[in-house]
Amino acid sequence: MLVFVSDLHFTDGTAGEHNIPSRAFSYFFEHLRAIAAKEHNLVEELTIVLLGDTFDFLRTEYWFDVPEDESPWGTNFSAMEVHAARILQRIALANRPSLDLIRRELENFPAKFRTLLRSRNRRQPRLVPKLLYFPGNHDRLLQLSPLLRRQLCELLPLKHDHHKPFPAGQFWPAYQVAARHGHEYDPYNFEGTPTFTEADYHRAPIGDPLTTELIVRLPFEVRRRLQALPPDYPLSDQEKKGIVASFQEIDNVRPLAHVIPWLRLKIDQEAASPRLRTLFEAAVDAAIRKFQSLKFVKRWYHDHCRGFFPGYPADRVGAVMFLADKLPVFSAGKLLELAVHLYDRLQPDHLLAAAPRDLAGWGDQCRYLVYGHTHLPLVVPLSRTAGVERYYLNTGTWRTRHLKTRQGDAFASFKTMTYVIFYQEGERSRGQAASFETWHAALKTL
């Protein structure tokens, strides 16, 4: 049994309370035992693959006190490595209950599984789970640093030589499935070549500063300005914290093209007075100006811009930043949303578009291809030839998701927990060929 989970995004908590509660992992391991113990199943191996963006080095306010040259998109690698090691320690501290539970569950899985089988009067070979780690774009720094990999292997029971990079992709012949995080096909989050060399995974993409200096900085700037309000301003400390937490949810808006309409709606909801509205606009302006001032961003524009061609990522980013910089969020709102709508229409699902070619590259025996990255769980039939079906699957996320309603003028929110399970021949319903199933839970509380 081969299980894929991705985009858990463990953070240090400075950019919002987004970490997954430990009970989610209890449900997960309990469910895996229950599936493996089904009467008609014969599961003799269990591999759990963390398919990227498990630890998030970008969604933190830590980098705001660091010179740009020492940031994830800087050139001072030794200093950056020290900072990243501190962030990883803070992530571990913020997620200690979950990480401790994962270690315990992996260690105790064989005994708990044996007990479950006995309760059902069944015997089966000992089932010892194995954990694999594949980095994505938010944990890209792991690929650059043996120090960070050693730290990670101390946090999780990973049997990996920390002197070597983690694998970026792999094919499992017995399951007829290949997997990678998928950011390789996102032009905003992968700066490498189509050959996917080790050096390609080291290059910083524009998505790094977009995440940290825009998505994370905006709520930070809102908090700074709220704290600077006069003591007699009619807004309690608790209300201020609530406003900041509300803006920190920008982190969970998908797709990212919908951040601008979400931001306009959020400001409309929170701006109880003209003064607050001006404060929010100033925060947006400060985040954009900081992003635009970065040396890395200027170089990226220079290397990637083609003038004004909506089909090019740099021109999309540049146009939206130009409009947001030159015009206030409110007066420019409709114009910005129009730009986002047009670019959204012109922007394909790069991962889905790449899937047929990528799947074919793994060879004729590969029937299934798994990505993460988008936070959108998918099962897409790609082809059927000579009776053989081939599929692209996406693992989704365990994070909260804010999605635009079909009505178009509001967003709806819910928590998700998704993963994909593959069986080799004979594991599921004994005698059945290699197969898969997806599990998608959603929780909405009022």
pLDDT tens digits along 238-257: 999 999 998 899 888 877 77
Nearest to 89 by CA among 141, 154, 140, 133: 154
Q: What is the pLDDT of residue 256?
A: 73
C-alpha span between 158 and 183 (Å, rounded):
23
303 pLDDT tier (thresholds 50, 70, 90)? confident
Main-chain dihedrals φ then ψ at residue 226, nearest 5 degrees:
-65, -40
C-alpha span between 213 and 193 (Å, rounded):
25
C-alpha span between 22 and 36 (Å, rounded):
22
What is the three-class DSSP state of 173?
Answer: coil
Q: Are strands 400-404 and 411-423 parallel, antiparallel or unpaired?
A: antiparallel
Main-chain dihedrals φ then ψ at residue 160, nearest 5 degrees:
-140, 135
Asked whether the predicted pLDDT for residue 331 surpasses 60, the reply is no
C-alpha span between 404 and 284 (Å, rounded):
21
Quote the Cα angle for 28-33-39, to 5°: 135
Main-chain dihedrals φ then ψ at residue 407, nearest 5 degrees:
-65, -30
User: What is the reported pTM?
Assistant: 0.91
264 pLDDT tier (thresholds 50, 70, 90)? confident
**Would you say 71 and 23 are in contact if contact means Cβ atoms under 8 Å apart?**
no
Q: What is the pLDDT of residue 342?
A: 47
Q: What is the dihedral of CA 406, 407, 408, 409, to 10 degrees?
A: -140
**Would you say 428 and 41 are in contact if contact means Cβ atoms under 8 Å apart?**
yes
C-alpha span between 381 and 409 (Å, rounded):
32
Both tokens assigned to 183: 């950011």
Nearest to 178 by CA among 8, 4, 48: 4
**Mean pLDDT to the nearest integer, 323-327:** 51
Asked whether the predicted pLDDT for residue 335 surpasses 50, the reply is no
Summary mean pLDDT of the chain:
89
| Long-range pairs, 189-197, Cβ under 8 A, ≥24 | 189/137, 189/373, 190/137, 196/168, 196/169
**Would you say 142 and 148 are in contact if contact means Cβ atoms under 8 Å apart?**
yes
Asked whether the predicted pLDDT for residue 101 surpasses 90, the reply is yes
What is the three-class DSSP state of 414?
Answer: strand
Both tokens assigned to 321: 């930043």
404 pLDDT tier (thresholds 50, 70, 90)? confident
C-alpha span between 424 and 172 (Å, rounded):
10
**Would you say 35 and 113 are in contact if contact means Cβ atoms under 8 Å apart?**
no
Nearest to 82 by CA among 61, 52, 59, 62: 62
C-alpha span between 96 and 91 (Å, rounded):
8
Residue type, 358: D
314 pLDDT tier (thresholds 50, 70, 90)? low
The string of pLDDT tens digits covering residues 214-224 is 999 999 999 99
**Would you say 177 and 1 are in contact if contact means Cβ atoms under 8 Å apart?**
no
C-alpha span between 374 and 186 (Å, rounded):
9
Asked whether the predicted pLDDT for residue 354 surpasses 90, the reply is yes
**Mean pLDDT to the nearest integer, 165-187:** 96
